[in-house]
């Protein structure tokens, strides 16, 4: 055995804004993005999480950076270029709310869930709270992008209630792309609905009926269910039946945190419990940035009940 050993390389610090990239990788991404903008004839100010051009238009980095994260750096330039071309094309395209018929709008309307923190001007759009930190809004599905209904366009096409009913109907018409049962620590499991559609996570609006339909399990009203929507492509749930709920909370917390931090369209890193009237947040961010689980008296009653049932 040799006397000297090669010192293991310490992992590089994650970027605080693009958390799935290291500091150096994130800086490389921003530098490449600046170059791509220049190649398109646009001068921009590069901020940690977005770029701003001379006319004040903002270009968010998260989704395209998440796509780059999954590819070698040699492919980043083409990915960024294709993304910016789509975004710029949507800026220059005619207003879809002005050219589409009422029937077209109805067929393209979806109820969709968003991370509240990522919508800076919520007051300009009709919305409701779905769960702490998550808002439900009305989205118009277009070939290359999604447009959000503002108050004017919502009124023009029938109002919030009518459009929401149609948006829920269109969610129900979606095909199930991928359904997985994921083992939880200490036994039990939770269910993950995965899909390429940007509306996959929004099918949380169909719970608990969707969960019962896909798994055959019935909801016990006194126990409820667990739910998380890490990003737009993932919906996770666990129907509470017995003491495996403890492992499900832990497993879902890890799954949600990972899905939120390294994927396009993040929605929430948290796990929620349906308490009979609304979703109660179970996981919270601690002072050191990690996730902790807080048990309310009401959820403790559920845990005690499942333990006694076991």
| pTM higher than the cut 0.85 | no
* Percent above pLDDT 90 for the chain: 69
Q: Whole-angstrom Cα distance, residue 30 to residue 1?
A: 45
pLDDT exceeds 70 at position 97: yes
The percent of residues above 70 in pLDDT, for the chain, comes to 95
Residue 2's pLDDT band (boundaries 50, 70, 90)? very low
Q: Which two tokens stand for residue 161?
A: 């209630």
Q: Is the pLDDT of residue 229 over 80?
A: yes
The pLDDT of residue 297 is above 80: yes
pLDDT for the residue 10: 61
Q: In this structure, which long-range contacts are made by residues 29-36, counting pairs with CB atoms below 8 Å and at least 24 apart in sequence?
A: 29/61, 29/65, 29/68, 29/76, 29/80, 30/61, 32/76, 32/77, 32/80, 33/61, 33/64, 33/80, 35/77, 36/77, 36/80, 36/81, 36/84
SS3 71: coil
The tens digit of pLDDT for each residue in 63-93 reads: 899 889 889 999 999 999 999 988 888 777 7
Q: How confident is the model at residue 57 (pLDDT cuts 50, 70, 90)?
A: confident
pLDDT band at 28; cut points 50, 70, 90: very high
């Amino acid at each position: 055995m040799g006397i000297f050993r090669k010192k293991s390389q310490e992992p590089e610090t994650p970027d605080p804004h693009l958390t799935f990239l290291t500091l150096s990788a994130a800086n490389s991404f921003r530098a490449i993005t600046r170059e791509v903008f220049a190649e398109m004839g646009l001068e921009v100010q590069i901020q940690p999480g977005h770029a701003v051009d001379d006319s004040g238009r903002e270009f968010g980095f998260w989704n395209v950076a998440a796509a780059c994260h999954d590819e070698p750096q040699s492919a980043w330039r083409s990915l960024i270029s294709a993304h910016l071309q789509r975004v710029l094309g949507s800026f220059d395209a005619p207003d879809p709310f002005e050219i589409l018929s009422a029937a077209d709008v109805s067929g393209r309307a979806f109820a969709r869930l968003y991370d509240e923190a990522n919508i800076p001007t919520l007051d300009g759009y009709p919305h409701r709270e779905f769960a702490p930190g998550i808002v439900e809004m009305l989205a118009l599905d277009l070939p290359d992008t999604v447009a959000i209904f503002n108050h004017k366009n919502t009124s023009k096409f029938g109002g919030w209630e009518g459009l929401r009913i149609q948006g829920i109907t269109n969610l129900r018409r979606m095909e199930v792309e991928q359904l997985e049962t994921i083992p939880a620590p200490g036994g039990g499991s939770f269910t993950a609905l995965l899909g390429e559609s940007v509306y996959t996570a929004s099918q949380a609006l169909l719970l608990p009926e969707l969960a019962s339909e896909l798994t055959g399990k019935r909801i016990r009203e006194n126990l409820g269910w667990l739910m998380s929507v890490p990003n737009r492509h993932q919906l996770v749930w666990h129907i509470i039946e017995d003491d495996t709920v403890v492992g499900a909370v832990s497993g879902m917390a890890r799954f949600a945190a990972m899905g939120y931090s390294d994927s396009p369209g993040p929605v929430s890193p948290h796990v929620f419990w349906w308490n009979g009237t609304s979703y109660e947040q179970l996981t919270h961010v601690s002072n050191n940035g990690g996730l902790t689980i807080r048990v309310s008296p009401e959820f403790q009653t559920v845990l005690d009940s499942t333990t006694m049932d076991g």
